[in-house]
Amino acid sequence: MAIGATWIAFSLLSWAHAQTGTAPQPPAIDIPNTSVFQNQQDTADRLWQNNQSRVQQSNKIDTPTETSRRAGSSYESALRALTQNPKDRLQQLSLEVLNAVNRQDWFGADRLLRIYARDPQHDPSLFDFVEASHDAAKGDYEAAIESYRKVVQASPGFTRSEIDLGRTLFVDNQLREAQDVFKRLQAQALPPVIGRHIQEYTTALENRTRPQFSLTLAWAREDNLNNANTVVNPCALNWNGACFQNNPGKKVGDSGVYFEASINKLWPISGHHGVVLRSLNYGNHYANQDSYDNLASVNYLGYQYSSARTQFQLLPSFEYDREGRYTAYRAAGIRASWRQQLSRRFQLEASLDYKHRDFSSHFGYLQGDLRGVGLFGSYALRPDWVLYANLLYRESDAQNRVFAYGERIARIGVFKAFGNRFTVNLAYGYRQKRAEETYAFFGKRQRDHERSVYLNVTAPRWAWQGFTPMLTYEYRNNRSSIPHAYDYEKNRITLGFNKTF
């Protein structure tokens, strides 16, 4: 290992000085660049949140929407078509009750139901239907689904109730059951307007369960691949009272190709339960500095519980990381997360992450596990303007305790969509890192403070065949308690396109 060789060389030079009286020259110190794995983890975190947001946004887009007027007229037409005598007073009252439900006029619906109840031939199922609709409007989907099922069982010909049952199951992420309901409805002879509405939900269900692929290809330029710095410390090393000055570092920059590729797939089982697959892959290839190439793949496959407001995931993971010409490590682990929609605008996600990393011999000094806990929140000021924040704490073990560390990370950002023209994602990050043990060479423990800026701009207005142009800029500035070893500043820019399949 380079560190051990340095110690031996320094001891021999000190012995030579004692024997000859000549001044020893400072040894060349090989300091491993461990921050590369922190940067990789940052990229994985960003891709995870991007994929979460993409899946949620896709679900919103796929959900069929109708204005109350359109829905009301559609269901009224359907009910008239299914009614033998639409001019009958009882049927007219039923239509008025349905229109009140469409308007979410619950006081009006209750008043009409009292009139409706006076007719000896009234259908008690209509009362359960109104109650179910009211529960669904309040977001009490469990109660709504139970009441809708009572109506469907008591009045099989009450088509509106079965449609609303399917819609509520869909909104509550009970996708297998919603699929069964809409398949039954498709087998019935219904007016074309209702048939088209059912087809919209059937298509939305197919979209939620089909594989989703995302690909990003970009030209990339980074000006400090080796995290070098120009700090010169007259007493970078102190040995037996003698100070040695370090040589300033030289930044290595290069251009190349960057890619991101992700896969998301959901298999509904029953109710809110399902199996989810998520694969996150990314890497760089540089034109002249291939020793800084990298390739990382993080794959999750496991259990998901998902309702309208709550999502829980327990996902075993497998990870592979390659740096330059060598495999850096393979890791197996598990991620547990809980996401809660606290209001229409605000959601919160808590996560636990554990990885058992098996480093190759080239990185054996880093052998050790990684543990982390995180909290992510987002608040939608408007549908096109979202604020978000992220808090993380991680502990990284290492065979050489000098490289074991704990870190605290805070990020805050804003996402803004300018119609269908541009989107902007801007984030600021702060990291505190503290090594577990003192670095014997320097007589200090590494304590870092890193500040970072991330900017991503996409231009949907210039998309071609689904390929959306994008520009990304990243800036990092690290200040360390051992500045001549760990201070650095770097800039990175990528320009390319993204496509979601």
pLDDT digits (tens, 9 = 90+) for 224-254: 999 988 777 777 776 677 777 777 778 999 9
In this structure, is residue 52 part of a structural domain?
no
Is residue 63 one of the residues assigned to a domain?
Answer: no
Residues 144, 221: one domain?
no
Q: Could you give the number of structural domains in the chain?
A: 3
What pLDDT was estimated at residue 66? 53
Mapped onto helix, strand or coil, the DSSP state of residue 198 is: helix
Amino acid at 66: E
Parallel/antiparallel/unpaired status of strands 346-359 and 370-382: antiparallel
| Ramachandran class of 240: left when φ > 0, alpha when ψ lies in -120 to 50, beta otherwise | left
What gap in Å lies between CA 258 and CA 219, rounded to an integer? 6
Which residues are registered as beta bridge partners of 353?
Answer: 335, 372
- pLDDT of 13 strictly over 50: no
Per-residue CA distances from 29 to 32, 225, 237, 448, 478 (Å): 10, 19, 10, 20, 20
| Residue that terminates a domain, selected from 165, 189, 208 | 208
Higher pLDDT, 72 or 395: 395
Question: Could you tell me the pLDDT band of residue 467, with boundaries at 50, 70 and 90?
Answer: very high
Compute the distance between CA of residue 282 and CA of residue 305 in angstroms, rounded to an integer.
28
Q: Do 22 and 139 have their domain in common?
A: no
Expressed as residue numbers, the domain containing 17 is 1-30
Residue 216, Cβ density class (10 Å: 0-12 exposed, 13-18 middle, ≥19 buried): buried
pLDDT in tens, 482-492: 888 889 999 99
Torsion of CA 500, 341, 332, 329, to 10 degrees: 60
Q: Which structure tokens are listed for 242?
A: 């003698």
Query: In this predicted model, what pLDDT tens digit does every residue of 186-201 receive, in sequence order?
Result: 998 888 888 898 999 9
- Residue 61 pLDDT grade (very low, low, confident, very high; cuts 50, 70, 90): low
Question: In the predicted model, is pLDDT for residue 18 greater than 60?
Answer: no
CA distances from 11 to 17, 239, 243 (A): 10, 10, 15
Shared-domain flag, residues 364 and 490 = yes
Q: Does 373 have pLDDT greater than 90?
A: yes
Contact between 275 and 301 under an 8 Å Cβ cutoff? The reply is: yes
Q: Is residue 43 part of a domain?
A: no
197 and 218 part of one domain: no
Cα dihedral sign, 24-26-30-34? positive
Count, residues in the chain: 501
Tell me phi and psi for residue 158, to 5 degrees: -80, 80
* pTM of the full structure: 0.85
User: For the chain, give me the number of helices (H) and strands (E)?
Assistant: 11, 16
Contact yes or no for 174/271 (Cβ under 8 A): yes
Q: What is the CATH number of the domain that holds 491?
A: 2.40.160.40
- Residue 285: per-residue pLDDT: 97
CATH number at residue 169: 1.25.40.10
Q: What is the pLDDT of residues 422-455, one digit of tens each?
A: 999 999 999 999 999 988 777 789 999 999 999 9
Q: Are 184 and 288 within one domain?
A: no
pLDDT digits (tens, 9 = 90+) for 31-57: 666 677 888 788 888 888 888 887 777
Same domain, 484 and 368: yes
**Distance, CA of 97 to CA of 147 (rounded, Å):** 17
Distance CA 404, CA 211 (A): 39
Mean pLDDT across the stretch 203-221?
Answer: 94
pLDDT tens-digit series, residues 120-166: 888 889 999 999 999 999 999 999 999 999 999 998 888 899 999 99
